[in-house]
């Protein structure tokens, strides 16, 4: 099994390229694109915002277990619990090792302490990611993301990833 449901390598997500995936096809497309781009770093599969509330922990784990069966490179996965401490706690009790919970929640510090006790990671916000929305996204866009790091910088006016093609302008 190539996936590891484990804490991220450090509190920083440097070196991990995240893709927000919504379904099985998206997961497999992200993993395939990373392979086509010969991406050697860690792949991060990120659930949609607040997925714990409307899709559930069981759905996420089934999706990640399915991905692990066919993955050819390691990846980590992160479940977004939005502002639900109950969802984050349920995710931890079901074995989720990395989740997101908004720190504005009054129970945030308690949940964070429980994650730390289990050697798991609770992130206070979503990391920058490529949001895979079908059918607008194509495999070529994902390959570009893994190969060149598009979406790594935020555009200041609209707070969305800068996905413009980078060009080599040298003669």
Query: Is residue 121 one of the residues assigned to a domain?
Result: yes
Non-local (6+) Cβ contacts of 39 within 8 A are 17, 73, 146, 147
Distance CA 104, CA 124 (A): 9
Residue 70 pLDDT? 84
Query: Is residue 68 one of the residues assigned to a domain?
Result: yes
Pull the structure tokens for residue 146: 């893994």
CATH of the domain at 131: 3.20.20.70
Is 125 strand, coil or helix?
A: coil
Is residue 23 within 8 A of residue 66, CB to CB? The reply is: no
Query: Is residue 119 one of the residues assigned to a domain?
Result: yes
Query: Is residue 63 one of the residues assigned to a domain?
Result: yes
- Per residue in 52-99, pLDDT (tens digit) is 999 999 999 999 999 999 888 889 999 999 999 999 999 999 999 999
Q: What is the DSSP string of 68-97?
A: HHH-SS-EEEEEE-TT-HHHHHHHHHTT--
Residue 122 pLDDT? 97
Query: Is residue 30 one of the residues assigned to a domain?
Result: yes
Query: Is residue 36 one of the residues assigned to a domain?
Result: yes
- Per residue in 114-134, pLDDT (tens digit) is 999 999 999 999 999 988 766
Which domain does 144 fall in, by range? 16-148
Query: Is residue 47 one of the residues assigned to a domain?
Result: yes
Distance CA 62, CA 165 (A): 35
More confident residue, 12 or 17: 17
Distance CA 94, CA 91 (A): 5
Query: Is residue 169 one of the residues assigned to a domain?
Result: no
Pull the structure tokens for residue 103: 């720190």
Is residue 81 within 8 A of residue 101, CB to CB? The reply is: yes
Record the pTM: 0.74
- Domain count for the chain: 1
Distance CA 50, CA 67 (A): 21
Measured between its terminal Cα atoms, the distance across the chain in Å is 46
Residue listed under structure tokens 């997925």: 51
């Amino acid at each position: 099994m190539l996936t590891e449901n484990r804490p991220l390598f450090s509190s920083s997500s440097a070196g991990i390229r995240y893709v927000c995936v919504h379904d099985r096809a998206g997961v497999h497309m992200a993993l395939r694109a990373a392979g086509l781009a010969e991406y050697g770093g860690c792949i991060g599969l990120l659930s949609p915002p607040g997925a714990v509330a409307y899709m559930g922990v069981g759905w996420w784990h089934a999706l990640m277990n399915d991905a692990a069966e066919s993955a050819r490179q390691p990846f980590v996965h992160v479940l977004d619990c939005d502002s639900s401490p109950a969802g984050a706690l349920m995710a931890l009790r079901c074995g989720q090792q990395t989740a997101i919970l908004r720190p504005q929640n009054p129970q945030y510090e308690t949940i964070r302490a429980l994650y730390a006790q289990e050697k798991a990671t609770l992130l206070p916000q979503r990391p920058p990611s490529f949001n895979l929305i079908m059918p607008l996204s194509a495999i070529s866009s994902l390959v570009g993301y893994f190969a060149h790091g598009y979406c790594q910088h935020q555009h200041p006016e609209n707070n969305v990833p800068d996905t413009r093609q980078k060009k080599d302008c040298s003669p």
